[in-house]
Amino acid sequence: MDLCPAESTGLSGAEEAELETIRKHRQELLDDIKKLKEEIAEMVAEFECFQEEKQEADNNPGEQTRQLSQRDKILSGGRKKFNMDPEKGIQYLIEHQVLSSDLQDIARFLHKGEGLNKTAIGDYLGRRDPKNIEILQAFVACHQFANLNLVQALRQFLWSFRLPGEAQKIDRMMEAFASWYCKCNPGVFQSTDTCYVLSFSIIMLNTSLHNPNVKDKPHFERFVAINRGIDNGGDLPEELLKNLFESIKNEPFSIPEDDGNDLTHTFFNPNREGWLLKLGGRVKTWKRRWFILTANCLYYFEYTTDKEPLGIIPLENLSVRKVDDPKKPNCFELFNPNCKGQKIKACKTDGDGKVVEGKHQSYKISAATPAERDEWIEAIRTSITQNPFYDLVSARKKKIANKN
């Protein structure tokens, strides 16, 4: 698929026009490949259903062959489709009359969650389509929050799906959670805004207390301080905050593990993607790689169609800057400003397919144009510094303050 050169400088007008034609053809090929992948995925799902049927028969050789019912086969195929594309999976199950189009039924199906990828559930519930928002509200209402403190309710809620990374999706989901919790527990908070802000404070507290990369662990007094004035301008009872703090300190949230499809879902909505040249760590040669920036990590692949990356560069504690190189233009560099001379914590696959530690003290990367370089630098800087929780909490605190 390496149809166009990594650099386009020094070309004549005719060559530029020809290059643009090649790029259009390449995009058409990529679109065709995407369609083929979707068709292959459907075929794989049907084949796996057949394998399940065959295994069932093989496990009962002395009995009359018992086949999976048609409904079970459709349900199994629909779950697999959902895990790859939630919208198509739901539509498939509705068209085959295994699931009704009633939004309450869809919500109960997602809440039950059997065989469903919890990352896919979170992605589907977080969408802004009015139908998805109704399903989200019905999904939240499937949880029994009555007489639970806020940490207990959050444990139950955050176990039923994986919270997406996009700020708008998080906002919709936590707004629905706060509304339902307050409805189940009237009188605990003066408003859903209070519940919303405190829920985020608890989630951030969980990260600060139990993430090994956070050295400055917050004390209870700090937890109290950041939640001052959030109850319609007043303070929450210290005893309530103490109980919540101790609960999280003693037992972190359990995050659900999925069935191996997480990596696929990671790349559904990247912050940025495109071809770049990367300088090798041990062997100093430039190689063209397909880069994807998402979830505070930079992934690189040999081809756009690869499912598994050649390497993963976590961006935590890293910085990015423009650099000059005598052999390549438009370069930028990823480096650790606090640990000069040390290898960056990253991983890659070696020639035998084994995952090994990266060899880079810094990563030097070349873009095709100065504009692309600057766009990548800006996107990476945003990814490094972005924490949607803080922005959402800040906006909600301003709303509470304006009311008073």
User: Which pair of structure tokens corresponds to residue 159?
Assistant: 């176990």
- Residue 269 pLDDT class (50, 70, 90 cuts): low
Work out the end-to-end distance of the chain between its first and last CA atoms, rounded to an integer number of angstroms: 60
d(CA 381, CA 368): 19
> pTM for the whole thing?
0.58
Lowest mean pLDDT among 63-67, 157-161, 205-209, 400-404: 63-67
| pLDDT score for 261 | 42
Q: Are the C-beta atoms of 40 and 46 separated by less than 8 Å?
A: no
Residues classed as catalytic:
166
| pLDDT score for 60 | 62
Percent of the chain with pLDDT over 70: 82
Q: What is the mean pLDDT of the chain?
A: 83
- Residue 375 pLDDT class (50, 70, 90 cuts): very high
User: Which pair of structure tokens corresponds to residue 232?
Assistant: 């319609």
User: Which pair of structure tokens corresponds to residue 100?
Assistant: 């009704």
| pLDDT score for 34 | 72
Please say if the pLDDT value at position 56 is more than 90.
Answer: no
Look-up: residue for tokens 């990374």?
165
Q: Is 311 helix (H, G, I), strand (E, B) or coil?
A: strand
User: Which pair of structure tokens corresponds to residue 403?
Assistant: 């009311």
Rg of the chain over Cα atoms, rounded to whole angstroms, equals 25
Q: Are the C-beta atoms of 288 and 148 separated by less than 8 Å?
A: no
What is each CA distance from 85 to 231, 264, 292, in whole angstroms? 40, 11, 19
